[in-house]
Structure 1
Amino acid sequence: MAGTGVFSPGRAKIDARTLRRDRWWLEPALIFGLLFTFVVYSSVRAFWDTNYYNEDTSLLSPFYSPCLADACVEGSTHLGTPVGDWWALSPALLILILPLGFRMTCYYYRKAYYRSFWFSPPACAVAEPHKKYSGETRFPLIFQNAHRWFFWLTLPYPILLAYDAYDSVHHDGDWGVSLGSAILLFNALLLLAYSLSCHSCRHIMGGRLNHFSKHPIRYWGWVQVSKLNGKHMQLAMVSLVVVGLTDLYVLLTASGAFTDPRIG
């Protein structure tokens, strides 16, 4: 509401936007560049609808996995085509909506893009330009409360990506390891670590318990998730970069830019 925060009548009137002398703008600027680059790249790849599957080594881009429509490239439909032929757009659009929703509603990403894109606020002890504040109680930000549901919906996603890595190792019935299969597996493990480090996951493991001593299994899980939770910011950003680079690797090998090195 108006008149709250740094604009409230009781606050000191300071002409300077902030008294900080450090480069407080550097972090939000870097995050803006990273997120903007990923949004542009992933959008182009989602609508490109080509070079997302390498038939030579069975590499499937994480942007298109699982590929569920009849329009998918032959060999890329590891789980079949339950969507059928009614979906006329890129198959990636059926998949990316869930990871996008999970990251958009993630507590860390909310902080990141609120500061970098909306300057709300751009940094600690730096006044934001907005004169009104309603939090996440109104449309559209009220949908941020759906984060826990996105967590459950995307939890199987790293497992499916790990299966893609296995499928590339067991290519055409022959066993062999390629650089691409290692990249697919690394990407799946990073996404799993990011999901398990989620604040919602930590609350699911240890929330609503009055006595940890009566729930030793949940307590153990809560401890392990808490360790990951301390690295949630790093896992969020690294997993974002790696999933984009994984798609880029599949794109380059599928287009014939170079051959995916394989042993076996």
Structure 2
Amino acid sequence: MTPDDSARTGAVRARIPRRTLRTDRWWLGPVLTTAGLAAFVVYATFRVFQQDHYWVAEHHYLTPFYSPCLAQQCAPEAALFGRLPVEFPPLVPYALLSLPFLLLFRVTCYYYRKAYYRSIWQAPTACAVREPHSRYTGETRPLMLPQNGHRYFFYVALAITLVNTWDTAVAFFHGTDGGFGIGLGNLVMVVNVLMLWGYTLSCHSCRHIMGGRLRSFGRHPVRYWMWSRVSTLNDRHMYFGWFSIASLMATDAYVALMASGTITDLRILN
């Protein structure tokens, strides 16, 4: 039936009282997404404001949640760029300059937008499931406007990933006797850095930087090659997103357990 036919006959859309006619477990994905994001937010918030058990001096392990460590209270060896001359007040994160940008980079990420829009804001929760909102506003409201800054937060996140890489590399040269060494903590930190690089480089903004503005790939073979590689990573951006927050929590937990004296590092070499 065409729109004109509907107008002549007075036909209207079918009124379905139920939220959806789907019989599969469409709610499972949103529930797991909400649980995963909530677990990360709760854990990260607790650890950032705990302000303790972030540094293992013996092996130079620094948790990524406190890197770069800038507060006057930071251990001198843990402060890659030095310490600010004043002590931070209680509940102010030691990595004050990096954490807000990392949070904004994650929150404005194209994948995470889809994840929390569907699972938390329910716009929509799933395909063919009625959403609870009466109208669609998109990202036009004032609180949503920072989403457009994702491309700029990418540059800061890239710099911080380089800092995390340096933290990981330096730890290899602080073995038991002060020389080169490898422990389980080193391997955990390496996996975390790889996941962070995977998430950062697979970002849609990174893909756009590589080749988004080119009018001809044929005239820019190097840029095209880089764009192709990033596009391959971009297909797995969701997985890097989840694996990276899991590796962040695992790395932080391992460093915290060592720093608190709960466990000791399993040494593989030296």
Same structural fold, with TM-score higher than 0.5 when normalized by the shorter chain: yes
Aligned to 1:87: 88
Aligned to 1:60: 62
Q: Check the 8 A contact 1:98/1:153 in 2, yes or no.
A: yes
Aligned to 1:206: 211
Distance 1:86 1:254, change over 3 A: closer
Aligned counterpart for 1:134 among listed residues 137, 143, 162: 137
Aligned counterpart for 1:96 among listed residues 86, 96, 99: 99
Q: Check the 8 A contact 2:70/2:95 in 1, yes or no.
A: no
Percentage of identical aligned residues: 48
Q: Check the 8 A contact 1:165/1:182 in 2, yes or no.
A: no
Matched, 1:170 2:173: yes
Q: Check the 8 A contact 1:114/1:121 in 2, yes or no.
A: yes
State the distance in 2 between where 1:10 and 1:105 align: 39
Per the TM alignment, residue 211 of structure 1 is displaced from its structure 2 partner at its CA by 0.8
Q: Deviations over 1:94-136 (max 9, x none)?
A: 3321111100000000010111111111111111101122100
Matched, 1:236 2:241: yes
Q: Deviations over 1:61-99 (max 9, x none)?
A: 000011122111232112212x33153223034332111
Q: Deviations over 1:127-151 (max 9, x none)?
A: 1101122100121011111100110
Q: Deviations over 1:167-192 (max 9, x none)?
A: 21111741111111111121111101
Aligned to 1:5: none
Aligned to 2:77: 75
Aligned to 2:147: 144
Aligned counterpart for 1:252 among listed residues 245, 248, 257: 257
**In terms of mean alpha carbon deviation, does 12-21 or 253-262 score higher?**
12-21
Aligned pair count? 255
TM-score, scaled relative to structure 1: 0.92
Q: Deviations over 1:6-54 (max 9, x none)?
A: xxx9643211211222111001100100100110110000110000001
Aligned to 2:222: 217
Per the TM alignment, residue 166 of structure 1 is displaced from its structure 2 partner at its CA by 1.6
Matched, 1:188 2:190: no
Q: Check the 8 A contact 1:62/1:243 in 2, yes or no.
A: yes
State the distance in 1 between where 2:43 and 2:118 align: 21
State the distance in 2 between where 1:69 and 1:127 align: 48
Aligned to 2:7: none
State the distance in 2 between where 1:50 and 1:73 align: 11
Q: Check the 8 A contact 2:48/2:93 in 1, yes or no.
A: yes
State the distance in 2 between where 1:115 and 1:75 align: 43
Q: Which has the larger radius of gyration?
A: 2
Structure 1 unaligned residues grouped into runs of 5+: 1-8
CA RMSD of aligned residues (A): 1.5
Which AA in structure 2 matches 1:211? S
State the distance in 1 between where 2:96 and 2:124 align: 32
Aligned to 2:42: 40
Q: Check the 8 A contact 1:46/1:93 in 2, yes or no.
A: no
State the distance in 2 between where 1:202 and 1:59 align: 32
Q: Check the 8 A contact 1:158/1:189 in 2, yes or no.
A: no
